[in-house]
A and B are shown apart, each in its own frame.
Chain A
């Protein structure tokens, strides 16, 4: 993985020193709150409902054990003993005190991390496929490109005051695990005539106006990537609306101007700036690639794994649910569920983070990933080590076998933390996962993505969930709207609203009716929820949600 050079180290240390002085000036009254607020946001520091919140960037979700241990230490020392993994592959600390934040940032800098551009109208943390460099279906590791974009976009002087925040995702595999079509820019590695290039998608996004991104270039040579991305952001910077923050994202720019005009403007700008890119970016990319060489693969005797798999049904269930195919057949990709039934999606205690660091260091080539689904990935685990990994995860209360199932829910922090939220998200997720654990039904139900947002900003990705839940405020009471048929993958789709909202007391029984009812609607157990929805349309699912309306009709 990428290791900071002297320049990176100095840039991050300088930034911490600068922010330390800004905090001191705020506390001594030299800076007003209006002056300070944009400065703290540029360093990832928000003010939430009951406390500050520090959002730390985890570039393309990649961590080593040393960094994970440091996150645990920061949580224990300056927060309340836990951190929250987010849908942008970041981590948030929910209870820092203002005067401690510079020390927290220095502690991050100690391990090559920071909180720069985790807020504000800038290019945010670039996300990538959490199986990058490990997946069996991968064409090209997307992380070097993501790292190049990180370096280019960090403190880029032209792009510090964009019309609105700007999010980029990269995947190197045809199976899109990075939700590229719901990003301002989505980059997908594709192959043409034996050459790898990039499909460039723009104008995707969630929020109050969900849009699926449109292809602006179906095949871009890799060496043109940086100038082309710069051309896109440059055009958006000029054309994007600044008169209305709800119409400021590039998805609205694309919608209002049309993809043809956008393409024309982008291509023109690209032709203008392309000559300025004289190959330094390609030299840098080549240098970055050396940081992402695969580990020295081990070839180990797997008989212990085979025996444990055959004899231990709990281990077998975990393997069947939480493992994915690795590019090396002697290895597996382990997804560690941070979604124990009834627990808070994405919350990990300091002890759990240290356990994950130990496991990664001992058994898995010292690599960890955070997924946008709010789980932790061990990307390179020799199959020979899987039983020991599972035992260690079980000891840390991290061995829940539910990846991709009903209880593997994305939930934004919602009204329990967020000042913008209009309803709670986390308790709904907890109740759903607890209920389906009681029913012992989720393995029978099979692949199903439930995603919950506590307001229209859609941080919980509800629009692209098979079952989306949006929490709203209706005359002072929480009301939960359900959407059906959303899809976050390469066949991306925005879910359709099912009907009237449900109260906080009624939402979990409604989800139970919907999911258990699907079991009777599917053709056979191999037809997953989304496939059944696409075959049948919304009506039979609406009948499950609103049985009284059907009776009345």
Chain B
């Protein structure tokens, strides 16, 4: 049962494994901004629907969020890491991450 006032549903793309978000048109998007924001009473039903699309995404789970001037923001550290990737300092040796990691610092 979702405890937060606002929630989204995240999952992992079946092929790429990357994080995707459940949208209002009952599909998945790479962008958190596209996510369907759910009241607690609706979260379980939508999670069940999202769980029927496992040809696209797996591991669906409810994530609490806040709405900051209309922008969706993850509340927990775990969801922030899930959205943004590992902490910047963890990836400074990875060529494909180095530029963004340094920029983020």
A347: which B residues are within 8 A, CB to CB?
A: 93
Contacting pair A82 B58 (CB below 8 A): no
Known: A49-B81, A49-B82. A426 touches B87 (CB 8 A): yes
**Most interface-central of A29, A47, A477 (chain B CB within 10 A):** A47
Q: Does B18 lie at the interface of the complex (its beta carbon under 8 Å from any beta carbon of A)?
A: yes
Cross-interface CB contact of A344 among B17, B54, B90, cutoff 8 Å? B90
Q: What 1/0 mask marks residues of chain A from 388 to 431 whose CB sits below 8 Å from any chain B CB?
A: 00000000000000000000000000011101011110110010
Minimum C-beta distance from B60 to chain A (A): 10
Minimum C-beta distance from B12 to chain A (A): 6
Q: What 1/0 mask marks residues of chain A from 9 to 39 whose CB sits below 8 Å from any chain B CB?
A: 0000000000000000011010011000000
Q: Does B14 lie at the interface of the complex (its beta carbon under 8 Å from any beta carbon of A)?
A: yes
- Closest B residue to A344 by beta carbon equals B90
Contacting pair A47 B58 (CB below 8 A): yes
Contacting pair B17 A52 (CB below 8 A): yes
Contacting pair A27 B85 (CB below 8 A): no
Contacting pair B59 A47 (CB below 8 A): yes
- Size class of the B contact interface (CB-based, 8 Å): 20 to 34
Minimum C-beta distance from A48 to chain B (A): 8
Q: Does A543 lie at the interface of the complex (its beta carbon under 8 Å from any beta carbon of B)?
A: no
A51: which B residues are within 8 A, CB to CB?
A: 12, 16-18
Contacting pair A33 B76 (CB below 8 A): no
Contacting pair B82 A50 (CB below 8 A): yes
**Most interface-central of B76, B77, B95 (chain A CB within 10 A):** B77
Q: Does B15 lie at the interface of the complex (its beta carbon under 8 Å from any beta carbon of A)?
A: yes
Q: Does A476 lie at the interface of the complex (its beta carbon under 8 Å from any beta carbon of B)?
A: yes
**Most interface-central of A33, A96, A347, A430 (chain B CB within 10 A):** A33
CA–CA, A420 and B17, complex, Å: 16
Cross-interface CB contact of A349 among B12, B19, B93, cutoff 8 Å? B93
Q: Does A343 lie at the interface of the complex (its beta carbon under 8 Å from any beta carbon of B)?
A: yes
Cross-interface CB contact of A80 among B77, B78, B94, cutoff 8 Å? B94
Contacting pair B86 A417 (CB below 8 A): yes
Cross-interface CB contact of A47 among B12, B77, B85, B90, cutoff 8 Å? B12
Known: A47-B17, A97-B17, A98-B17. A33 touches B93 (CB 8 A): no
- Closest A residue to B54 by beta carbon equals A33
Contacting pair A29 B55 (CB below 8 A): yes
B97: which A residues are within 8 A, CB to CB?
A: 80
B81: which A residues are within 8 A, CB to CB?
A: 49-50, 415-416, 424
Cross-interface CB contact of A82 among B14, B82, B93, cutoff 8 Å? B93
CA–CA, A177 and B97, complex, Å: 35
CA–CA, A97 and B18, complex, Å: 9
Minimum C-beta distance from B88 to chain A (A): 9
**Most interface-central of A47, A50, A430 (chain B CB within 10 A):** A50
Known: A32-B54, A33-B54. A50 touches B77 (CB 8 A): no
Those of A49-86 within 8 Å (CB) of chain B: 49-52, 80-82
Q: Does A99 lie at the interface of the complex (its beta carbon under 8 Å from any beta carbon of B)?
A: yes
Q: Does A224 lie at the interface of the complex (its beta carbon under 8 Å from any beta carbon of B)?
A: no
CA–CA, A80 and B58, complex, Å: 22
Minimum C-beta distance from B92 to chain A (A): 8
Minimum C-beta distance from B20 to chain A (A): 11
Q: Does A478 lie at the interface of the complex (its beta carbon under 8 Å from any beta carbon of B)?
A: yes
Contacting pair A81 B95 (CB below 8 A): yes
- Closest A residue to B88 by beta carbon equals A427
B18: which A residues are within 8 A, CB to CB?
A: 50-51
**Most interface-central of B18, B75, B94 (chain A CB within 10 A):** B94
Known: A50-B82, A347-B93, A349-B93. A98 touches B15 (CB 8 A): yes
CA–CA, A92 and B95, complex, Å: 18
B96: which A residues are within 8 A, CB to CB?
A: 80-81
Contacting pair B54 A99 (CB below 8 A): no
Minimum C-beta distance from B78 to chain A (A): 6
- Closest A residue to B82 by beta carbon equals A49
CA–CA, A422 and B59, complex, Å: 18
Contacting pair B90 A427 (CB below 8 A): yes
B94: which A residues are within 8 A, CB to CB?
A: 80-82, 349
Binding site for A on B (CB under 8 A): 12, 14-19, 54-55, 58-59, 75-78, 81-82, 85-87, 89-90, 93-97
Known: A51-B16, A344-B93. 15 other contacts (CB 8 A): A26-B14, A32-B54, A47-B17, A49-B78, A50-B18, A82-B93, A95-B17, A97-B17, A344-B90, A347-B93, A349-B93, A416-B81, A416-B86, A417-B86, A427-B89
List 25 A–B pairs whose Cβ atoms lie within 8 Å, in order of A's numbering: A26-B14, A33-B54, A33-B58, A47-B12, A47-B17, A49-B19, A49-B78, A50-B12, A50-B17, A51-B17, A51-B18, A52-B17, A82-B94, A97-B17, A98-B14, A344-B90, A415-B78, A415-B81, A417-B86, A421-B78, A426-B86, A427-B90, A430-B89, A476-B77, A477-B77
